[in-house]
Amino acid sequence: MDVTLHLAQDPEADALLGRSPLAALVGMLLDQQVPMEWAFKGPRTIADRLGADDLDAHDIAAQDPDAFSSLLSEKPAVHRYPGSMAKRIQQLCQYLVEHYDGDADLVWKGVDDGRELLRRLEDLPGFGKQKAQIFLALLGKQLGVRPQGWQEAAGAYGETKSFRSVADITGPESLAKVRAHKQEMKAAAKAAKSAGK
């Protein structure tokens, strides 16, 4: 992996995401209940606080849980819920160590079927179906990982120029389109909830 991503809207953080499969997975894991840029800047912040150039699944999996939680809680915190996210990141890294020898790109390397790749992503701790589909779309659209049937497996997120998720963000203009789509979806959900009362 060595591509230019624009998810954190920060050159150093985006450079790490583009060259580190683990950083990309951790950023995706953090992408909930905080602004996307904050989530995807998290891997760079964690690496800096660990005094490393990259994230290492073996190292993170072996960290003392309280110390790792404190590391994520330092100001500015890596996430709105640094304690629970520290636990989730460690669970993800422990799973990668156990199933993929700590090598995150083995989750998708050599997989030639989109449904199988989606299943592998859904098996990751902290990845439900939607998060797995978004990450699959990111792999296909921006990281060149395109097993047969990947777009179908990614669902609506795999559609070309859909501007539904981080998979479609290539700069400030596409970021604005994805934000607008998310706001429309929230408004529709809120209207549907009100109508149901």
Q: Which value, to the nearest 10 degrees, does the dihedral of the CA atoms of residues 79, 180, 17, 156 take?
A: 110
d(Cα 174, Cα 171) in Å, to the nearest integer? 6
- Could you give the count of Cα atoms lying within 13 Å of 116 in the half-sphere of its Cβ? 12
Question: Burial of 54 by CB count in 10 Å (0-12 exposed, 13-18 middle, 19+ buried)?
Answer: middle
Instruction: Determine the average pLDDT of the residues in 60-66.
Output: 97
Q: Which value, to the nearest 10 degrees, does the dihedral of the CA atoms of residues 28, 29, 32, 37 take?
A: -40
Q: Could you give the percent of the chain with pLDDT greater than 70?
A: 98
pLDDT tens profile 141-191: 999 999 999 999 999 999 988 888 888 888 888 888 888 888 887 887 788
pLDDT tens profile 92-138: 999 999 999 999 999 999 999 999 999 999 999 999 999 999 999 99
Amino acid at 52: A
Please determine, for residue 54, whether its predicted confidence score (pLDDT) is greater than 70: yes
Tokens 């209940």 locate to 33
CB 77 within 8 A of CB 116: no
Q: Domains in the chain, ordered, with CATH?
A: 11-158 (1.10.340.30)
Q: Please provide the size of the chain in residues.
A: 197
Please give the pLDDT value at position 56. Answer: 97
Amino acid at 177: K
21-30 vs 82-100: helix axis angle to the nearest 10?
140
